[in-house]
Amino acid sequence: TSSAIPRGFPRRQLILPPLPSSHLPLPLLLKMTKKAVLFGCNYPGQKGELKGCINDVMMMKEILVDLKGFDESDITILIDTDDQYESPTGANMKKALNKLVAEASVGDILFVHYSGHGTQVPSFSEEDWKNEALCPTDMNLIVDDDLRDIFNKLDPSIPLTVITDCCHSGGMLDHKAIQIDGDKSQDVATGDAPPAKNRALSIQQVAEMLSKQLGHEVDSDGAGVRSALQRGFPEDASKFATSLVAGLPISDELKGAANKLLGGLFGKKSSTPPPAEAGGKVPAKPHVDDEIGVLITGCQSTETSADVRAGGTAYGALSNTLVEAINENPNATYRELVTTVRAKLHTKGFKQNPCLECSNNNADKPFIC
């Protein structure tokens, strides 16, 4: 059953951002379409249930329509609390993202927002042996490498904004260029953060939620989760979530041997340090083109993001604060916006550190320009 969604942001007169310095030809401007895909996962009835993710989606939709010139018909919403909307399963989310990219034309403006749980899965392609991942409502994980592969198909001249309001969200697009990260301030916060639940799932919690989804017990280690994903979602499980070494420039034979050797490492204690700590080298892995997209994260890859419950409502600390900042300055650049959000979160007492990951050029463009 669906419940009423607080809509605490009054409708305002549309304020159009200034055109970027490199004006598009008039025919392209006339054909330009602003398209958005918004994902909200509250996981109703599950052990890891959240409360604020659907509210985040509806707040963001309102901002897009009222302040950024989006037409409601060009906004695709996937949420898991109302059967009128498509469910944000792993397969549906990847389908929506692939469709967004495949149908994009030069002159379009694209926007993606995800609000839900985040986790980390084992990977030999990362220096810390961990890949960041989104947690769809059916727990068919979407790894950062999946997102990289999808968005790398996009023409770099097409503006793309991605917001990930979840734990472990830093590095979610695998950009090399990071404009803003680290501790937002060494000062003591001036406020006390309201009650909140973090939006993180350990590999053990992922196994628990997968057990309920699939109807059988899933071993709470890396090997158990990988096997469950392969068997539970044989057609569309992420190859990066089911293999420790997917995406590495090595032979299939070596990949098979590495997966077998390292199979149970994640989720169990090991005396073997990650390659970076051991002074070893990790084989080079692909990155998303730094000119493709701007990523705003809820926190760094090692941190958690807050699902706040306060004043009779619930919301993501990042999403709510981002909406506040956009309302105050709709034409702020990405750099200005993230700087403002970090300052506001610090004042409110939140420990999470949002990041801005993109090229220098994109960082100083107006938000959704």
Name the active-site residue from 53, 135, 167, 358: 167
Catalytic status, residue 358: no
For tokens 């960041």, the residue is 132
β-pair partners for 198:
306
How many separate helices (H) and strands (E) can be counted in the chain? 12, 12
Greatest Cα-to-Cα distance within the chain, rounded to the nearest angstrom: 62
Q: How far apart are the first and last CA of the chain?
A: 37
How many whole angstroms separate alpha carbon 172 and alpha carbon 314? 24
Place of tokens 């890891």: 48
- Could you tell me whether strands 118-122 and 75-79 are parallel, antiparallel, or unpaired per DSSP bridges? unpaired
Catalytic residue among 41, 113, 117, 355: 117
Give the residue among 361, 324, 159, 122 at the shortest CA–CA distance from 240: 122
117 is catalytic: yes
Contact 151, 293 (CB under 8 A): yes
CA dist 29 and 354 (Å) reads 32
CB proximity list for 139: less than 8 A, separation 6 or greater: 90, 206, 209, 210, 213
Nearest C-alpha neighbor of 60 from the set 38, 81, 82, 93 = 38
Amino acid at 245: V
Nearest to 93 by CA among 131, 147, 54: 147
Q: Residue 56: how many CB atoms within 10 A of its CB?
A: 31
Whole-angstrom distance, CA of residue 345 vs CA of residue 198: 15
Active site residues: 117, 167
